[in-house]
Amino acid sequence: MAKILMKGAEAIAEAAIEAGCQAYFGYPITPQNEVPEYFAKRMPKLGRTFLQAESELASINMVYGAASAGVRVMTSSSSPGIALMQEGISYLAASRLPCVIANFMRGGPGLGGIQPSQADYFQATRGGGNGDYYLVVYAPATLQEMCDLTKEAFDVAEQYRLPVMILADGTLGQMMEPVELGNYVPRTKADMTWAATGFQGGKPRSIINSLYIQPEELEERCLAMFDTYREIQAHEIRVEEFHVEGAQLIVGAYGTMARIVKSVIMQLDQAGGPKVGLVRPITLWPFPQEAFAKAAAQESVQAVLSVEMSMGQMVEDIRLAVNGRKPVSFFGRTGGMIPTAKEVREQILALCNGGKE
Amino acid sequence: MEEQVLIAGFGGQGVLSLGKILCFAGMKKDYNVSWLPSYGPEVRGGTANCQVIVSDQEIASPMFEASTAMLIFNEPSLHKFEEWARPGSAILLNASLIASPLTRQDVRAYYVPASELAEQAGSLQCLNIVMLGAYVAACHTVDEETVQAVLTETFGAKGEAVLQMNLRALDLGKTYIQTQK
């Protein structure tokens, strides 16, 4: 199929529709209003459900309801809206319900601003709600990757029975790039017999629940969830490595930030500058620990740098992965400011010259 | 080849849609393209801008530090973005609305009476296409036939009169640059 020029917020919706998303519930917020707008236009024509809820809290609980019935369901929002959904997300994880949640991050904390940010990394990867749980968190860097990962997210959510988050930023929602759709290759359809789809003349009762008063029972449920998480860690980690071999400096960055870092690395290569490698996590959870550990362990590597649109969140995972073998430093801007290529280049050059420009 | 175009003006002048048309033209030539708008508290009459990249390589960052071409539709945008221009790059200005000349001496400046030419083509609404015509003649990233094909696809559904007006606007912008040389 030919590539079409689409806005990120529209492309993700079309990708979800292609993956068979049957219902979308959401509440508008910049910079992703085009997601509900696009679903509102397309879903009724397909005989599927679009509903603008009265709040984000209502949206996520509608997602809970639809997911309980085994329906492919999605919601999207931006940072403050995702914060409002955290209770529901914890319940979805606890009740082992598959769904896809997209967060087009904007500056925070609080109501913050509307410009792009990556300051919800902790919230996404550590479980923003209560209790012992994780989401699978994808961090696309291009619109094509966002489309491909969104389609896969529905399959992964059903295969492991958990919510999957697409963690993008405002840039990916607002920019346009050509995308190729219509190329979805689904995974083997997961067993969905757990879904509450009615008695149907003798089907065992499907109980969707997150309340377990007996601690022994609750612990058992949590342990089972963590068995699943280990399986995910073994099979689903995704990472892109760019010019890592023999590099003097390893930069960690994801999403839009990784694209800026990549352009700086390409410029440095052309100018005969220091050899710099990029490790770009595509899954933020599970985190590609081994890729960072291996890259940093190379003899050529003197230091590791995390570049983020935040005050430094992923850098903590990088430090855990590098485990003290090499110094790990951080550079970032926050509040909706995006580190420029010039700023990133200066940071890189300073580190490569032992702190001297 | 990587062309990094900054387009800036008032909201409502067709700044963002011009960027899209440039992307479509680049795609027709099998180039990689990206379009990044300013977004925020923008309103009609406020400022709007977009960064468009047309490249024969993979586009890493959709943001650039210095433009290889700049299309400036109003005076506030000129003051805001003039310093972004790469030395030797092209700056096309809507001279109908911009009274002050460029302070930069190291760029190729093109002063286009775009508002007048747009009205000559039929409506001030095709101001952006006049600027596109001027850009095609000044920079050669995409050729006129390709842009004409994109305009036909873009405006075809709006009727023959609208399409012809935009094709006239394209031609007027292009011819103006060619006659200035």
DSSP, residue by residue, A187-207:
PPPPP-TTS----TTTPPP--
User: Does some domain include residue A357?
Assistant: no
CATH number where B131 lies: 3.40.920.10
Residues of A in contact with B39 (CB under 8 A): 30-31, 114, 170, 174
Q: How far apart are the CA of B100 and the nearest CA of chain A, in angstroms?
A: 29
Q: In chain A, at which residue ranges do the beta strands (DSSP E only) sit?
A: 4-7, 23-26, 49-52, 73-77, 99-105, 136-138, 163-169, 176-179, 239-242, 249-252, 276-281, 283-285, 303-308, 328-332
Between chain A and chain B, how many beta carbons pairs sit less than 8 Å apart? 57
pLDDT digits (tens, 9 = 90+) for A123-167: 999 989 999 999 999 999 999 999 999 999 999 999 999 999 999
Structural domain count, chain B: 1
Residue A229 CA, chain-centre distance (Å), reads 16
The amino acid at B107: V
**Shared domain check, A189 and A295:** no
**Shared domain check, A282 and A217:** no
**Shared domain check, A139 and A269:** no
Residues of B in contact with A175 (CB under 8 A): 34-37, 62
Quick one: CA torsion of B22, B25, B29, B33, rounded to 10 degrees?
40
Q: How far apart are the CA of B32 and the nearest CA of chain A, in angstroms?
A: 8
Q: According to the model, what pLDDT value does residue A202 have? A: 85
pLDDT digits (tens, 9 = 90+) for A253-284: 999 999 999 999 999 999 999 999 999 999 99
> With bands split at pLDDT 50, 70 and 90, how would you rate the model's confidence at A2?
confident
**Shared domain check, A45 and A170:** yes
Q: How far apart are the CA of B63 and the nearest CA of chain A, in angstroms?
A: 8
The boundaries of the domain holding residue A271 are 240-352
User: What average pLDDT score do residues B100-113 get?
Assistant: 94
**Shared domain check, A250 and A227:** no
Structural domain count, chain A: 2
Is the distance from CB of A153 to CB of B12 less than 8 angstroms? no
Residue with tokens 């094909």, as numbered in its chain = B149
**Non-local CB neighbours of A298 within 8 Å, separated by 6+ positions:** A244, A245, A246, A247
b vs e for A322-340, b when ≥16 Cβ sit within 10 Å of the residue's Cβ?
beeebebbbbbbbbbebbb
The amino acid at A209: N
Q: Helices B127-139 and B160-180 meet at what angle, rounded to 10?
A: 40
User: Does some domain include residue A130?
Assistant: yes
**Shared domain check, A276 and A218:** no
- Is B61 touching A (CB cutoff 8 A)? yes
Q: Which residue of B21, B30, B63, B84 is the best one to mutate when testing the A interface, meaning the one whose CB has the most A CBs within 10 A? A: B63
The amino acid at A224: A
> CA-CA distance, B74 to B93, in Å (whole number)?
8
**Shared domain check, A112 and A42:** yes
Tokens of A12: 């993700």
Residue A1 has pLDDT above 90, yes or no: no
Residue A4 has pLDDT above 90, yes or no: yes
Q: According to the model, what pLDDT value does residue B43 have? A: 67
Query: How, if at all, do strands A136-138 and A283-285 pair?
Result: antiparallel
- Closest Cβ–Cβ partner in A3, A30, A114 for B27: A3
The boundaries of the domain holding residue B37 are 2-180
The kind and range of the H/E element at B135 are helix B127-139
Residues of A in contact with B35 (CB under 8 A): 5, 175-177
Q: How far apart are the CA of B108 and the nearest CA of chain A, in angstroms?
A: 24
Q: According to the model, what pLDDT value does residue A208 have? A: 97
pLDDT digits (tens, 9 = 90+) for A311-326: 999 999 999 999 999 9
SS3 content of chain A, % helix, strand, coil (to 5): 40, 20, 40
**Shared domain check, A30 and A81:** yes
Contact A5 B27 (CB under 8 A): yes
Is the distance from CB of A145 to CB of A10 less than 8 angstroms? no
User: What average pLDDT score do residues A166-191 get?
Assistant: 97
State chain A's maximal CA–CA distance in angstroms. Answer: 76
Is the distance from CB of B166 to CB of B129 less than 8 angstroms? yes
Contact B24 A5 (CB under 8 A): yes
Can you tell me the ipTM of this complex? 0.94
**Shared domain check, A260 and A138:** no
User: What average pLDDT score do residues A26-33 get?
Assistant: 97
- Closest Cβ–Cβ partner in A5, A115, A256 for B20: A5
For chain A, report the end-to-end CA distance as a whole number of angstroms. Answer: 48
Query: How, if at all, do strands A23-26 and A49-52 pair?
Result: parallel
- Is B60 touching A (CB cutoff 8 A)? yes
Residues of A in contact with B63 (CB under 8 A): 260, 338, 340-341
Number of H helices, E strands in chain B: 6, 6
Of the three residues A188, A214, A235, the one that is the final residue of a domain is A235
CATH number where A16 lies: 3.40.50.970
Q: A160-174, A252-266, B28-42, B150-164: which has the minimum mean pLDDT?
A: B28-42
Residue A356 has pLDDT above 50, yes or no: no
Closest residue, chain B, to A336 (C-alpha): B40
Residue A355 has pLDDT above 80, yes or no: no
Residue with tokens 């849609």, as numbered in its chain = B17
Say how many C-beta atoms besides its own lie within 10 A of residue B103's C-beta.
9
The amino acid at B145: E
Residue A233 CA, chain-centre distance (Å), reads 15
Tokens of B77: 């945008």
Is the distance from CB of B17 to CB of B49 less than 8 angstroms? no
> CA-CA distance, A77 to A26, in Å (whole number)?
7
Of the three residues A198, A217, A235, the one that is the final residue of a domain is A235
Question: Among B130, B127, B75, which residue's Cα sits nearest to residue B103?
Answer: B75
> With bands split at pLDDT 50, 70 and 90, how would you rate the model's confidence at A357?
very low
**Shared domain check, A152 and A14:** yes
Q: Is the peptide bond before A286 cis (omega within 30 degrees of 0)?
A: yes
DSSP, residue by residue, A119-171:
TTHHHHHHTSSSSS---EEE--SSHHHHHHHHHHHHHHHHHHTSEEEEEEEHH
Q: How many CA atoms lie within 13 A of A220 on its CB side?
A: 7
User: What average pLDDT score do residues B110-135 get?
Assistant: 97
**Shared domain check, A331 and A207:** no
- Closest Cβ–Cβ partner in B24, B59, B65 for A341: B65
CATH number where A311 lies: 3.40.50.920
Mean pLDDT of chain A: 96
Q: How far apart are the CA of B15 and the nearest CA of chain A, in angstroms?
A: 15
User: Does some domain include residue A348?
Assistant: yes
Residue A289 has pLDDT above 50, yes or no: yes
For chain B, report the end-to-end CA distance as a whole number of angstroms. Answer: 24
**Shared domain check, A177 and A129:** yes
Residue B132 has pLDDT above 60, yes or no: yes
